[in-house]
Structure 1
Amino acid sequence: MLAIWELGLTAQVFLGLSLFAFGLEAALVLFHFIGILYAKCVMYRKPSVNIAREELPGVSILKPMVGVDPHLQENLESYFKIDYPKYELLLCVQEEGDPCLQIVKPLMESYPQVDAHLFIGEKCMHEGGCKIGENPKMNNVMPGYKASKYDIVMISDSGIQAYPDILMDMVSRLGPKVGLVQGLPFCTDRKGFPAVLDKVYFGGAHARMYLTLCVLGVNCVSGMSNMIRKCILEEAGGLAEFGKYISEDYYMGIACFRSGYVQRLSYFPAMQNAGNPSLKSFRKRMVRWTIVRLATIPTTLVLEPLSECIPLGFFVSWAGWYVFNLDPVLFFMCHILQWFLLDYLQLMALQREPVNFSKFDYAVAWAFREIMFMFYFLEGMFSRSVAWRTGSYRVRYGGYLEEIR
């Protein structure tokens, strides 16, 4: 009787796992459709506001910069050309001898009508400033934040290219109950396989989860380009409070909710336009993000692999064989084809002009990313250190940073 009972319990567990696999597959297919419909029907709307241009609130844009990227001038100049009546551009550089100053200073001279100011972090430290934590990005922008004069702050990475209407769009989304507006990470058209890989990932797998979670109101803020009310930061302890975290964007999202506000997604994506994409940089980014997510949200260890195409394909194919005696190989191939097509539709919904690569290039990049996911994830799972431009850091549980000296 004991053997029969144990067998019955095992069957119940396997049946429960099978139903969970089917439910997860259905939920993620729904995520696909939500992301596709949102990208197709909502993204790239023309911003509209109900007040006169002269009454629009001012915005302080913080631009952290380190070193020179091949597209730095193009990206930075796009912020001098933003069509918005009242904003200041706070350009934050860490060291006096940084080569990016050879681009920053001429641009400031070429656009004297733009309220732009340059801050050298090293110089500010000597004039009475202090280090606010280990996060180099927060230390970089802190002098600019202290000098900001508007109640709305936008933090935008140096590798992001701005649309002329980006401020108008974000401000129009910043309603009375909205405390933070963020841009969906996407990519400009660049040449080479690493650039195709970036676009396929950010337009497919990443966009699917990001768009759907934002629609559902889940906190998943990207630090690439976001706008937040200064009162939220001050209530949380000021910008210095976020200097101890590697994922300062995630904790800004938490601060937004704790202040009683909600988050919204910009209608325009945050267009990444780095001039030197490579397979090495892609791997380092995927591993670093895995380390950050595991340290900040430990449930990622289980949930993230099961949200990916190939691991979920194995899981649901086993469930189909166990419950319905379906051919697992055929089931797995159908699953892969379905995700391949849905990710392609997701990318095409976000890409409003023809892509600069072929369907074969897409297939190779998509397969490469899906196959390499588990390798990147495992590397991140067994790593605790990350390298940024200014140094190396050890990530502690809770997303805390410790510099490796």
Structure 2
Amino acid sequence: MPSTYILAHMNRETLTFGVAVFGLVWYLAMWSLGLLGCLSARRRYRSRPVFSSSSSQNGYAPGVSILRPLKGLDTNLYENLESTFKQDYPNYEIIFSVADDKDQALNVVNALVARYPQVNVTVIIGEEVVGVNPKVNNLIRSFRKAAHDLLWVLDSGVMVDPGTLSRSVDIFTNTSSSSSKRIGLVHHVPFALIDEAKIGSRLEAAFLNTNHAKMYIAINTVSIDSCVVGKSNLYRRSDIERLNGSLIPIRAQVARRHEAQEYGLPAFGRFLAEDNMIASALWHELGLRHDLSSDVARNVVGNMTFSDYVWRRVRWIRVRKHMVLVATLLEPFTESVMLCLIGLLSVKYLLQMPSWIFVPLHFFLWLAVDFDVYASIGGPGLRLENITSFIIVWFARELLAFPIWLLAIIGNEIVWRGRRYQVLLNGEAKVCSD
């Protein structure tokens, strides 16, 4: 009996030790990923060139079609759209598209066309319904109308610097890379700007400019798989036309005699996160790689309430759950609060570190890293009006991360632009009947 008790006690001790070691390894791994994002942000964005260095200066400027799908009067719409008229690039056109001829965004477009008559602009009115995704339906005719193979798809909520297109084309056409894979997509990390004092707006900015940016940059630096947000993407129409959204490499499709129902942009109308799926398809089906520009996609958040913020986060977690289940389930364990608990339990058992030292040190360093990322992507002109307010909102965002994730994980329905959808396997969706 005593020997059985001793053996059971040893097994428990071994198991506890193993769990503590695993917890510490996970804690350090997440810190390493965060630091990678921070250092990569410093290297990429703090040395951001002030002037464009386009290949056009060497006599080569491939034509680019800028596609801007519109719906309604988004926050800062005039300035957002105007930023595309001001691109320091000699060979581009702009195509605006709206589903309805009564859309108020047309008034803004007409004002800009009158102000910049030298810019080649086309306005397309009327969508072509190919699926449940309204953005894809809006873009179909623009894709066909575009005069150039190189497309820059920009959300209406995005504002960019004058040299963004020029620098992005430089990256896209760069042939000096040691990688054997051609670049199929150049994208830009989102950077939130606040023009409203609403709590939801501040929470959204705290999320996008710190944790989201840090992880987004880190994952794209490691570059083991596709990780793209579609606010500002540059790719070739000829590449998109070869995709079918299966994420099966073309050679494997031939070997399996896989026959897709649709190819090109219409194939992505069944997905809500079409941006992520297009990027993944370029990566997996065609074997093309992605690259981040040194520019950011500035997004004025606008009047977002607390409820707006919560349900926006819920919406995209529910979509991701059906696209990358394992990564979504692991998400809480990459956040600062849960990691603090994991790290605390591990170091208390292994190193006997007291909690009153570990917890404040953990959050102080985590905040410092996030703030450094914020400063990097914000650029030299960044102004933070109230550091105390930022810290309070940052902590609120961190504390809300797990409850929001929990709310998102237990449901499959979302509301997007006033319509209710049910998210299906692989991120596909169907409209819910009222």
Same fold? TM cut 0.5: yes
Instruction: Tell me the residue number matched to 1:221.
Output: 228
Per-residue CA distance 1:123-172 (angstroms, 9 max, x = gap): xx4xxxxx211111111111111111211111111000121111101101
Deviates more, 1:205-214 or 1:2-11: 2-11
| Aligned residue identity for 2:116 | Y
Secondary structure, aligned partner of 1:163: coil
Distance 2:313 2:387 in 1: 24
Correspondent of 1:66 among 46, 71, 84: 71
| Aligned residue identity for 1:214 | N
1:222-301 alignment runs, 5 A limit: 222-236=229-243, 237-257=263-283, 258-301=285-328
Instruction: Tell me the residue number matched to 2:179.
Output: none
Distance 1:338 1:106 in 2: 48
Distance 1:50 1:83 in 2: 12
CA 273–54 in structure 1, closer or farther in 2 if over 3 Å, else same: farther
Distance 1:328 1:260 in 2: 47
Deviates more, 1:137-146 or 1:46-55: 46-55
1:17-56 alignment runs, 5 A limit: 17-43=19-45, 44-45=48-49, 46-52=51-57, 55-56=60-61
Distance 1:243 1:2 in 2: 62
Q: Residues 184 and 235 of structure 2 are in contact (CA less than 8 Å); yes or no, is this contact kept in structure 1?
A: yes
1:305-384 alignment runs, 5 A limit: 305-352=332-379, 353-384=381-412
Per-residue CA distance 1:220-258 (angstroms, 9 max, x = gap): 111111111222211102111111111212221222223
Deviation at 1:392, TM superposition (A): 1.7
In structure 2, stretches of 5+ residues that fail to align are 176-181, 244-262
Q: Residues 180 and 264 of structure 1 are in contact (CA less than 8 Å); yes or no, is this contact kept in structure 2?
A: yes
CA 293–10 in structure 1, closer or farther in 2 if over 3 Å, else same: farther
| Aligned residue identity for 1:316 | G
Correspondent of 2:416 among 377, 381, 388: 388
| Aligned residue identity for 2:233 | N
Superposed CA RMSD: 2.0
Distance 1:108 1:393 in 2: 36
Deviates more, 1:30-39 or 1:394-403: 30-39
TM-score, length of structure 2 as denominator length? 0.86
Deviates more, 1:9-18 or 1:283-292: 9-18
Deviation at 1:7, TM superposition (A): 4.0
Instruction: Tell me the residue number matched to 1:128.
Output: none
Instruction: Tell me the residue number matched to 1:159.
Output: 157
| Aligned residue identity for 2:383 | V
Q: Does 1:169 align with 2:167?
A: yes
Correspondent of 1:209 among 198, 208, 215: 215
Q: Does 1:82 align with 2:87?
A: yes
Q: Residues 291 and 395 of structure 1 are in contact (CA less than 8 Å); yes or no, is this contact kept in structure 2?
A: yes
| Aligned residue identity for 1:228 | Y
Distance 2:4 2:278 in 1: 54
Instruction: Tell me the residue number matched to 2:97.
Output: 92
Deviation at 1:345, TM superposition (A): 1.8
Per-residue CA distance 1:70-91 (angstroms, 9 max, x = gap): 4111111111111211111111
| Aligned residue identity for 1:234 | E
Instruction: Tell me the residue number matched to 1:103.
Output: 108
Q: Residues 222 and 250 of structure 1 are in contact (CA less than 8 Å); yes or no, is this contact kept in structure 2?
A: yes
Secondary structure, aligned partner of 1:204: helix
Instruction: Tell me the residue number matched to 2:117.
Output: 112
Instruction: Tell me the residue number matched to 2:255.
Output: none
In structure 1, stretches of 5+ residues that fail to align are 126-130
Secondary structure, aligned partner of 1:244: coil
| Aligned residue identity for 1:285 | R
CA 31–267 in structure 1, closer or farther in 2 if over 3 Å, else same: same
Q: Residues 317 and 328 of structure 2 are in contact (CA less than 8 Å); yes or no, is this contact kept in structure 1?
A: no
Q: Residues 86 and 162 of structure 2 are in contact (CA less than 8 Å); yes or no, is this contact kept in structure 1?
A: yes
Distance 1:355 1:27 in 2: 32
Per-residue CA distance 1:21-63 (angstroms, 9 max, x = gap): 2122222222232222222222223543445465211111111
Distance 2:14 2:385 in 1: 48
TM-score, length of structure 1 as denominator length? 0.92
Secondary structure, aligned partner of 1:322: helix
Q: Residues 282 and 288 of structure 2 are in contact (CA less than 8 Å); yes or no, is this contact kept in structure 1?
A: yes
Secondary structure, aligned partner of 1:88: strand
| Aligned residue identity for 2:79 | E
Instruction: Tell me the residue number matched to 2:204.
Output: 198
CA 49–105 in structure 1, closer or farther in 2 if over 3 Å, else same: closer
Q: Residues 28 and 307 of structure 1 are in contact (CA less than 8 Å); yes or no, is this contact kept in structure 2?
A: yes
CA 2–253 in structure 1, closer or farther in 2 if over 3 Å, else same: farther
CA 286–29 in structure 1, closer or farther in 2 if over 3 Å, else same: same
Instruction: Tell me the residue number matched to 2:178.
Output: none
Q: Residues 136 and 390 of structure 1 are in contact (CA less than 8 Å); yes or no, is this contact kept in structure 2?
A: no
Secondary structure, aligned partner of 1:268: strand
CA 53–93 in structure 1, closer or farther in 2 if over 3 Å, else same: farther
